[in-house]
Structure 1
Amino acid sequence: MTETTRTDASVVDRDRLAAAHHRETERFVADHPACAELARRGRAHMPLGVPMSWMAKWPGGFPVHVAEATGAHFTCADGHEHVDLCLGDTGAMVGHSPAATVRAVRDQVARGITTMLPTADAAVVAEELTRRFGTGSPAVDQWQFTLTATDANRHVIRYARQVTGRARVAVIDFCYHGSVDETFATLDDQGRVVARRGNIGAPVDPALTTAVVPFNDLAALERELATGTVAAVLLEPAMTNIGIVLPDAGYHTALREMTRRHGALLVIDETHTLCAGPGGCTRAWGLDPDVVVVGKTIGGGIPSAAFGMTSELSERVVTSVGLEDIDVGGVGGTLAGNALSLAAMRATLTQVLTDDVFGRMDELAVAWTDGVQGVLDAHRLPWHVTRLGCRAEYAFSPEPPHDGAAAAAADDFELQQYLHLQALNRRILLTPFHNMALMSPATSHADVDAHTAAFEEAAHDLLG
């Protein structure tokens, strides 16, 4: 009997999927001899032939090598122009090499890249981030700068432990916050905290450092906070890295009340959810965190990130760390807050990713969502598509998931790999390891329509 993936309304035959994937792989290899040669050369001195190991996970046997990227398109080493709906997994949400950011970076490179000293750009960026995210009461209005959101999350966790005297951090099951050790934990079938599958070289048992609760499960969160051992709750306002999982009505209000009642800090990571608007979900939904973390997008592609605190929390942090030890406590880095990053952030936030561009980006995401839904309806595919601002994603279950475990259970790696490769062969790049599309100020309706046409062709090839 042929093994199949069964859903409520249709069946994807695994033999048919394997045959389609084989055809797409042959087409990809034939179309990309230059990329294949670069991959072969790379294997001589790089593990798996790539500068970072996860790049080997792209479908096709080797990754496309980029020769040039501008706006919402890139050209590979074989000369093929692609629609880029990945956009560096939000690192290039403003589009590749926006003119204002490029000008600011070029000017700053000539004036100095890094000096361990502040520049005038720092105060401007902090003011702009406060305008965007400082809408709560009390406001998030005190900012520090790093190179990655991973660094920002690590630093915030250290500060939370420092000021609360508590050891553990609470995270959401199947969350992702960069390569932060405490977040690579999940719940097993008995509800115990264990290391996430694939967690490489975990330094300690995650049960010692981390409480894990499902998204949208307020009762589980209450139980963990009631132990009095949780320094901070770290979460995305909507889950994104396991697929888009939206919060229940009232979830964030209850979350804020609980954390305050139990003396835990509330840390909102907006690195991916900045897609919801100029101030992410924090501003769009009227959230009231103690800390906001944001990265990737705000530097227009130059390594940049920031974390903001309320003035009250900032005062607790400052008074708890002696000046003599401020540089050796595990917070910061020689390149953090460097002149080049701050110049890129200032230009990107004030001239490129401005408040007025989000309306058009959202409009394009609505069109992408409608195009996908039209294909699902026409082929009676019982999958769903979810949008969060200018980001949208389809997944292989009839209804949107309520938590990360449900989203993970609906995944299908083989099917996902085929759909990504099929799109790539039609010169469309989706975000890797998701079926997600992101809209930039440079994305066009023609780019969206190209994806809809490719997705329709894929559905026909799978189902006939």
Structure 2
Amino acid sequence: MTDTAIPTAAGLARIDRDRLAALTAREQEAFIAARPRSKAAYEGAGHLFGRVPMTWMNKKAGGFPVYLATASGNRVTDIDGHEYIDFALGDTGAMAGHSHPAVVAAIEKRVRDLGGLTTMLPTEDAEWVGAELARRFKMDRWSFSLTATDANRWAIRLVRALTGKSKIVFHSYCYHGSVDESLVVVGPDGESASRPGNVGAPVDVTETSRAAEYNDLPGLERALAHGDVAAVLIEPALTNIGIVLPEPGYLEGVRALTRQYDALLIIDETHTFSAGPGGMTTAYDIEPDIVVIGKAIGGGIPTGAYGLSAEFADRALARDDLDLVDMGGVGGTLAGNPLSVAAMRATLEHVLTDEAFAHMIDTATYFTQGVDALFDEYALPWSINQLGARAEYRFARPYPLNGTQAALAADGELEDFLHLYLVNRGIMLTPFHNMALMCPATTRSDVDAHHAVFAQAIRELLGLE
């Protein structure tokens, strides 16, 4: 089993916990005092489960979430009138930026001029989107859903149907939305186990799934050697437990092992799309059988998609025992609706272009270099990883090499303090982790603003001011 020791997380030992608690209390007090309308809105939301539209919005270091008023480009304004530089960007859902004019124009045309927001009828835009996704991700045939979670669920059903095998292999601490099968980790004994906190699993997850640590080819081979694995479904880099990048040769090894053990390979690019116009599939020259993507390609309008190799698609369509019509619409009657498809076309054609990615990646590199320089300046054994337009710092050095290491290196108290400190000074990171994403509107000046506040937070933490 891969070593799961925390990589020099002793950087946390330099943090005086009493000082951290006092600074957090001060920042919470300032957060609450400055946002009376958000506080009142939260306290008055008695008809919402957890007082929020979706329970993950309760990831709130300040005691309640900031309530949205307006958003444009990479700026967000709350109902108390505070403006933020938004590095969260809807956790990639708004990677194109908020309400990009090209996306807004496409939406307005569909809604006001053409109508028919949901009709269960195709539009010509859908073929354009399918062709563009095929160009970018090297998958020949595409179908749409409302979320990447839905696309992952349908991909799993397809591979089980076509292979006659039942098990799916995942990386420990992966992110594939709320897919039941994916909530599996490598336990302390090296065996697969349910991920802590898993809610209402329909069956013991080990009946459907196995887990292997990221960057652990021997562990992956052990999971495959049983001979009952339909597919390996992975993020090509872990993204929801920090950004854990592949060691040289790892992704090539994954592909080789899946072929050796007659299993299919599904790549989920929902977050790793940040790597470039064709995600990591193209940037790392991966050869999957299925690609899943969502969020970012809709410019903020809900959508998901999965792409199949021509060989796999033909095999599926040749099976007359599979009801791919009535039972094939996972995602419901709204999947592939004209509005979502119009938004996808506008986003891919006019916003998240090759040129835009070049700018976004350059800006993220500037962000990464600046944060790394601060860690060196203050002798902090923390680290930062970059995946194209996305970067994330972690309280360990070297950066963790797998999901279990990354989970063990977490520090919720320190993370909450930094999020509060930043948001109180107009900088918004992804609520779940210390991730910063660049969109076409993000500038180096925006990055400089983050670095100035982040440096100030570090100095206060270390008692230097």
* Counterpart Cα distance in 1 of 2:11 and 2:444: 32
CA deviation after TM superposition for structure 1 residue 320, in Å = 2.2
Give yes or no for the alignment of 1:40 onto 2:34.
Answer: no
Contact 1:271/1:294 (CA < 8 Å) preserved in 2? yes
CA deviation after TM superposition for structure 1 residue 47, in Å = 2.3
Alpha-carbon distance change, 8 to 184 in structure 1, aligned in 2, over 3 angstroms: same
Partner residue of 2:85 out of 83, 86, 104: 83
Give the aligned partner of residue 242 of structure 2: 243
Contact 1:150/1:180 (CA < 8 Å) preserved in 2? yes
Aligned residue for 2:39, secondary structure, equals helix
Counterparts of 1:249-264 in structure 2, within 5 Å, are 249-264=248-263
* Counterpart Cα distance in 1 of 2:235 and 2:32: 38
| Letter in structure 2 aligned against 1:194 | A
* Counterpart Cα distance in 2 of 1:336 and 1:416: 37
* Counterpart Cα distance in 1 of 2:322 and 2:13: 64
* Counterpart Cα distance in 1 of 2:378 and 2:255: 42
Task: Give me the identity figure in percent.
Answer: 53
Alpha-carbon distance change, 8 to 50 in structure 1, aligned in 2, over 3 angstroms: closer
TM-score (norm 1): 0.96
* Counterpart Cα distance in 2 of 1:421 and 1:9: 18
Per-residue Cα deviation, 1:132-165 (whole angstroms, up to 9, x for no partner)? 011xxxxx11000011000000000000000000
| Letter in structure 1 aligned against 2:91 | D
Alpha-carbon distance change, 437 to 325 in structure 1, aligned in 2, over 3 angstroms: closer
Give the aligned partner of residue 150 of structure 2: 151
Counterparts of 1:63-82 in structure 2, within 5 Å, are 63-82=65-84
Partner residue of 2:137 out of 127, 133, 138: 133
Contact 1:6/1:12 (CA < 8 Å) preserved in 2? no
Per-residue Cα deviation, 1:157-177 (whole angstroms, up to 9, x for no partner)? 000000000011000011110
Give the aligned partner of residue 442 of structure 1: 441
Aligned residue for 1:211, secondary structure, equals strand
Counterparts of 1:214-229 in structure 2, within 5 Å, are 214-229=213-228
* Counterpart Cα distance in 2 of 1:146 and 1:302: 12
Give the aligned partner of residue 58 of structure 1: 60
Aligned residue for 2:405, secondary structure, equals helix
CA deviation after TM superposition for structure 1 residue 91, in Å = 0.1
Give the aligned partner of residue 293 of structure 2: 294
| Letter in structure 2 aligned against 1:20 | L
Aligned residue for 1:302, secondary structure, equals coil
Give yes or no for the alignment of 1:16 onto 2:19.
Answer: yes
Give yes or no for the alignment of 1:327 onto 2:326.
Answer: yes
Contact 1:105/1:344 (CA < 8 Å) preserved in 2? yes
* Counterpart Cα distance in 2 of 1:8 and 1:332: 45
Contact 2:11/2:395 (CA < 8 Å) preserved in 1? no
Per-residue Cα deviation, 1:197-253 (whole angstroms, up to 9, x for no partner)? 110001100110001000011111112212110000000111111111111111111
Give the aligned partner of residue 4 of structure 2: none
Segments ≥4 residues shifted beyond 3 Å:
321-325, 329-332
Per-residue Cα deviation, 1:428-450 (whole angstroms, up to 9, x for no partner)? 11011211100000111121111
| Letter in structure 2 aligned against 1:85 | F
Contact 1:161/1:167 (CA < 8 Å) preserved in 2? yes
Alpha-carbon distance change, 78 to 49 in structure 1, aligned in 2, over 3 angstroms: same
| Letter in structure 2 aligned against 1:93 | M
Aligned residue for 1:442, secondary structure, equals coil
Aligned residue for 1:38, secondary structure, equals helix
* Counterpart Cα distance in 1 of 2:13 and 2:61: 25
* Counterpart Cα distance in 1 of 2:9 and 2:229: 41
Contact 2:390/2:435 (CA < 8 Å) preserved in 1? yes
Partner residue of 1:100 out of 99, 102, 105: 102
Aligned residue for 1:145, secondary structure, equals strand
CA deviation after TM superposition for structure 1 residue 46, in Å = 1.0
CA deviation after TM superposition for structure 1 residue 261, in Å = 1.9
CA deviation after TM superposition for structure 1 residue 326, in Å = 2.6
Contact 1:10/1:382 (CA < 8 Å) preserved in 2? no
| Letter in structure 1 aligned against 2:460 | D
Give the aligned partner of residue 204 of structure 1: 203
Alpha-carbon distance change, 311 to 192 in structure 1, aligned in 2, over 3 angstroms: same
Alpha-carbon distance change, 9 to 337 in structure 1, aligned in 2, over 3 angstroms: closer
CA deviation after TM superposition for structure 1 residue 333, in Å = 1.5
| Letter in structure 2 aligned against 1:274 | F
Give the aligned partner of residue 367 of structure 2: 368
* Counterpart Cα distance in 2 of 1:314 and 1:321: 13
Per-residue Cα deviation, 1:70-118 (whole angstroms, up to 9, x for no partner)? 0000100001110000000000001000001101011111321010110
| Letter in structure 1 aligned against 2:178 | S
Contact 1:270/1:294 (CA < 8 Å) preserved in 2? yes
| Letter in structure 2 aligned against 1:123 | E
* Counterpart Cα distance in 2 of 1:242 and 1:105: 34
* Counterpart Cα distance in 2 of 1:374 and 1:215: 28
Alpha-carbon distance change, 8 to 27 in structure 1, aligned in 2, over 3 angstroms: closer
Give the aligned partner of residue 278 of structure 1: 277
Give the aligned partner of residue 137 of structure 1: none
Give the aligned partner of residue 378 of structure 1: 377
Contact 1:186/1:193 (CA < 8 Å) preserved in 2? yes
| Letter in structure 2 aligned against 1:249 | P
